[in-house]
Amino acid sequence: MNKPLADRIRPKTLDDIVGQKHLIAPEKPLRKIIDSGDIPNLIFYGPSGVGKTTLATYIARKTNRTLKKLNGTTASTADIKEIVSQLNTFSGVNGILLYLDEIQYFNKKQQQTLLEYIENGSITLIASTTENPYFYVYNAILSRSTVFEFKPVTPDEVERAVYRACDFLAEESGIDIEMSEECAKKIATGCGGDVRKAMNAVELSVIATDEIDGKKVVRLETVEQLVQKSAVRYDREGDEHYDIISAYQKSMRGSDPDAALHYLARLLEAGDLPSACRRLMVCACEDVGLAYPQLLPIVKSCVDMAQAVGLPEARIPLADAVVMVCNAPKSNSAYMGINRALADIHTGNSGPVPRQLQNKHCDGEDNPNKGQFYLYPHDFPNHYVEQQYLPDALKDKKYYEYGKNKNEQAFKAYWDKIKGK
């Protein structure tokens, strides 16, 4: 069985690698490290198909060390021990370069097995991961490695790879292959920054195109049928999930309806209706809050409708609610207030409930000051009477501060008048 095109066409030079110019452009630190030939332990972090394996393979070709490859999804401790056993043999005389793909699937014990040999330089580790290494890689390995983050490849860069793939396939097959600019752009934009997916789409499009007089002309309808629905990267368990929902809420908080709708669309396209609804309700409470409290039941109603009708129609009430949240005045006064109160609770800064607020119960004979002494506010003018509600240790504490919005300032003016301030 032939290797996938992405493996057959791996770049031979750094300049052939598409994307990652922030890492491998001339004068960039990683480029200089690679050119020096003195390779430290490296961790490549980023989404799939953006050049991590390609760059690691290129680095391996520039070193005189024996190259060994492991994949964290299938490798075992025995595989590591097998590599270690070669260190004192002829094949490992110059040391071993270990490329460990998907290191996040190695457990702590497996990673610790490598530690001694990484530390003394017997093994040079180049590891790749699609997950945040600061969460999944053992700290001792992290401290002995340099982390470089890879980014999704831009459509313009992917398009360059598409044309290169067509030329490669034409040379490989001896058949003239014509790929229009429209087709190339469709593949480049439809792969979601994943060059491997783009290469697969190119190869499948060429295979699915009939040869006429020694030539294949790839048509747009063929490409459209074969390009995977992957323009939006999303992994409910990975960093992309948290990045997108974070951007979604921050866009609503920042009153940018265009950005908020964009991230809502990405969530819905990925089928993640629960996250879209949950963050919308959180934002309405946290970021709009008391500036426009009437919005809270409106947002809840929109979420209920979205969950009742399901996708794709759920996009309509959710879009209504998102735009309303963006355009609503903002206040986080209640949110900040509860955070301040919780901070006191977490640090043990509390105390007994004041006597007048306690549930009624019988006083013992040893209590010289019997009685509840609670003042019922409705028995007083304007339904207000001054009395202590916080515990003695916190009696002068202020958690809530009125927001500057019209709504809360109206509340403040009312209570300042009632309380005689």
DSSP class of residue 364 equals P
pLDDT at 1: 44
Fold of 344-402: post-AAA+ oligomerization domain-like (1.10.3710)
Taking the C-alpha atoms of residue 288 and residue 282, their distance in angstroms, rounded to an integer, is: 10
Dihedral class, residue 231 (left if φ above 0, else alpha if ψ from -120 to 50, else beta): alpha
Q: What is the CA radius of gyration of the chain?
A: 31
Q: How far is CA 404 from the centre of its chain?
A: 33
Backbone phi, psi, residue 416, to 5°: -60, -40
Question: Angle CA(127)–CA(153)–CA(28) in degrees, nearest 5?
Answer: 65
Taking the C-alpha atoms of residue 210 and residue 208, their distance in angstroms, rounded to an integer, is: 7
Local structure of 63: helix, strand or coil: coil
Quick one: which of 6, 1, 3, 2 has its CA closest to 162? 6
Full pLDDT tens readout for the chain, 421 residues: 478 888 888 888 888 888 889 999 988 989 999 888 888 999 999 888 888 988 988 888 777 677 888 888 888 888 888 888 887 666 555 668 888 988 888 888 888 888 888 887 778 899 998 888 888 888 888 888 999 999 888 889 999 999 999 999 999 889 999 999 999 999 988 887 888 889 999 999 999 999 888 899 999 999 988 886 544 555 555 557 778 889 999 999 999 999 999 999 988 987 888 899 999 999 999 999 999 999 999 999 999 999 999 888 999 999 999 999 999 999 999 999 999 999 999 888 888 888 888 876 666 666 667 667 888 899 999 999 999 999 988 988 999 999 999 999 999 999 999 988 7
CATH 3.60.15.10 fits 20-149, yes or no: no
User: Cis ω on the peptide bond leading into residue 312 (within 30° of 0)?
Assistant: yes
**140, 141, 147, 152: CA torsion to nearest 10:** -120
pLDDT at 111: 84
Spelled out in words, what is the top-level CATH class assigned to the domain 239-327?
mainly alpha
Q: What angle separates helix 315-327 from helix 239-253, to the nearest 10 degrees? A: 50
- So where are the chain's domains? 20-149, 155-226, 239-327, 344-402
pLDDT at 293: 94
Identify the CATH assignment for 155-226 out of 1.20.1050.10, 1.10.3720.10, 3.40.50.1820, 1.10.8.60: 1.10.8.60
Taking the C-alpha atoms of residue 142 and residue 415, their distance in angstroms, rounded to an integer, is: 56
* Residue-wise DSSP of 232-246: S---TTSHHHHHHHH
